Amino acid sequence: MPNVDDLIKIIEKEKLNVDKDLVRKAFKFADDAHKGEMRASGDSYITHPLATAMSLAKYHLDQDTIIAGILHDVPEDTERTQKDIEDRFGKEVGKLVEGITKLGKLKYRGIERYTENLRKMFIAMAADLRVIFIKFADRLHNLKTLDALPKAKRERIALETLEIYAPIANRLGIWQLKGKLEDYSFKYLYPKEYEKLKTDVEAKFSARESLLKEIREKIIKALKQEEIKYLEISGRTKDLWSLYKKMQAHDTQLDRIYDVIALRIVVESVADCYNVLGIIHSRWKPIPKRIKDYIAQPKPNGYQSLHTTIFCDRGKTVEIQIRTQEMHLTNEYGIAAHWHYDEQGSIQFEKDIQWVKDLTKLQKEIKDNKQYLDSLKIDVFQNRIFVFTPKGDVIDLPEDSTPIDFAYHIHTEIGDKATAARINNQIASLDTCLKSGDMIEVVTDKNRKSPNQDWLKFVKTRAARDKIKMKSKKSVWDTIRDFRK
């Protein structure tokens, strides 16, 4: 049975700046409060908040979040109150626990509940992003122990995870967690398919194990010769749910998918990434068209790495992924990988979470559930691209956005008066689909009165669509007014 020492061990191993005595105190408080309470699995209740806090420590979250993780079910399930927590552990911890308690009340059922859940999640996120991390860690442990629950409840939780939690984790760039959330849900929603794929992938991995080991050793030797330091070289298998979806989408078999197994190399600098790629290509032949430079051209969701698939002996192929430690952390932990305290001592995440704030606006504006969901699907859950202004500012937009979406994102007036666009210094039509890394310049005509209504046929963002429509209404009134003059 895990106990508080296991949590302390993680804090020490990850070198977190956390008061261990306070962690012990919180654990004691929660343990006393939950005394006698059991999980459906028959374990004592405290195993759950402890596991939640352990995940939070693994994700390098701050002291308040870890403590709130230990205490997150206290007000809902025990005699102890919100106030008791605040008195002992401070306002910040109190607020985080309150946020979680509020989220806990909703159950997933039908579209109304679904959108209501999403709204609540986004309100909580906008108030403090850490609440969502606690909720993720809480859900992760609940998924791990789903076996103890009746089938219908298991499926409800798994479905809710796939439809709500995983897309949010994806959008926050926490792909490691997203993969875990999805794979646990997969297991309960499609048990047969899950078991089969898992067995097949494991078989494939063990069949390749000696080959991977051999390649790994050759690479280590070559890196020594070239005096390139590496931090990690290890094999990994693709997450099962994303593999399953890929097979379904392309209607294909496991053998035909190249990236089921990959060797991952983590080095110190971007220059080393390219050097390692060169070293590998000088020893093994790469498969043409399988060389991907996601460092120079990050994936729409921000993922960075170099990928290549090489031919090994006996006609076998292996994918190699090369990245820096920083890219690795960002790829695994997303927004959780980069936070710091500001001068006021409150936590700041480095990546812009403007979209979370936009969402709180959105949920006030749109009351219709279906419409709300549709705009969420486009503005939030769709993959994003990252493009540049001529000054080098990064703008993030939904995939397939056009120069008009970009223009309205910058300023309403730039959108209204747009006449042409230059993408990477080349004249491009206003309906061109932008790609990550593009630099966009919008050409405006200051005499232009209103936007072209035809743009509605291709714009992607709700902001652009709304503004174009709004202008069309206004221009009718303008016409009438002009007429009366």
Residues numbered 86 to 145 that lie near Mn ion (CB under 5 A) are 138
In the complex with Mn ion, the residue whose CB is nearer, 2 or 437, is 2
Gap between the Cα atoms of 52 and 55, Å rounded: 5
Closest approach of Mn ion to the CB of residue 123, in Å:
19
Q: How far is the CB of 70 from Mn ion (least distance, A)?
A: 11
Smaller CB separation from Mn ion, 117 or 402: 117
Q: Using CA atoms, how far apart are residues 458 and 400, in angstroms rounded to an integer?
A: 9
Does 78 engage in binding with Mn ion (CB under 5 A)?
no
Please, are residues 284 and 219 in contact by the beta-carbon 8 Å criterion?
A: no
What is the pattern of x (binds Mn ion, CB under 5 A) and - over residues 259-298? ----------------------------------------
DSSP structural state of residue 45: T
**Cβ closer to Mn ion: 73 or 416?**
73
Catalytic residue among 6, 31, 43, 77: 77
Structure tokens at 219: 């690479």
Q: How far is the CB of 137 from Mn ion (least distance, A)?
A: 9
Which one-letter DSSP state was computed for residue 148?
G
Backbone angles phi, psi at 263, to 5 degrees: -105, 125
First to last CA, the chain: 83
The active-site residue out of 76, 87, 217, 374 is: 76
Q: Is 352 left (phi over 0), alpha (psi -120 to 50) or beta?
A: beta
Q: How far apart are CA 485 and CA 462, in angstroms?
A: 35
Rounded to 5, what percent of the chain is helix, strand, coil? 60, 15, 25
d(CA 337, CA 235): 22
Cβ distance to Mn ion smaller for residue 97 or 174: 97
- Please confirm, yes or no, whether 182 is among the known catalytic residues: no
State phi, psi for 383 to the nearest 5 degrees. Answer: -60, 150
Q: Considering the complex, state which of residue 65 and residue 401 has its C-beta at the smaller distance from Mn ion.
A: 65
The answer to whether 107 touches 366, Cβ cutoff 8 Å, is: no
Of 263, 260, 264, nearest in space to 239 by CA: 260
x/- letters, 376..405, toward Mn ion (CB under 5 A): ------------------------------
- Compute the residue count for the chain: 485
Phi, psi for residue 354 in degrees, rounded to 5: -55, -40
- Contact stretch for Mn ion (CB under 5 A) within 68-76, 223-231, 319-327, 346-354: 68-76
Determine how β-strand 426-428 pairs with β-strand 306-311.
unpaired
Nearest-angstrom CA–CA distance, 426 and 30: 62
| Total residues in contact with Mn ion, by rule CB under 5 A | 2
CB of 177 to Mn ion, least distance (A): 16
Q: Which of 62, 64, 73, 319 binds Mn ion (CB under 5 A)?
A: 73
The nearest distance, CB 100 to Mn ion, in angstroms, is: 8
Nearest approach in angstroms of CB 178 to Mn ion is 20
Amino acid 163 reads E
d(CA 185, CA 194): 10
Residue 319 C-beta: closest distance to Mn ion, Å: 38
Exposed, middle or buried by CB within 10 Å (0-12, 13-18, 19+), for 310?
buried
Q: Which residue is nearest to Mn ion (CB)?
A: 138
Per-residue mark of binding to Mn ion, 224-263 (x: CB under 5 A): ----------------------------------------
Catalytic residue flag (residue 155): no
Nearest distance from C-beta of residue 142 to Mn ion, angstroms:
7
Tell me whether residue 29 or residue 381 sits nearer to Mn ion (CB atom): 29
Nearer to Mn ion, 46 or 212 (CB): 46
- Is the Cβ of residue 126 or residue 137 nearer to Mn ion in the bound state? 137
Report the phi/psi class of residue 314: left, alpha or beta, with left for phi > 0 and alpha for psi in -120 to 50: left
Residues annotated catalytic, as ranges: 76-77
Binding site for Mn ion (CB under 5 A): 73, 138
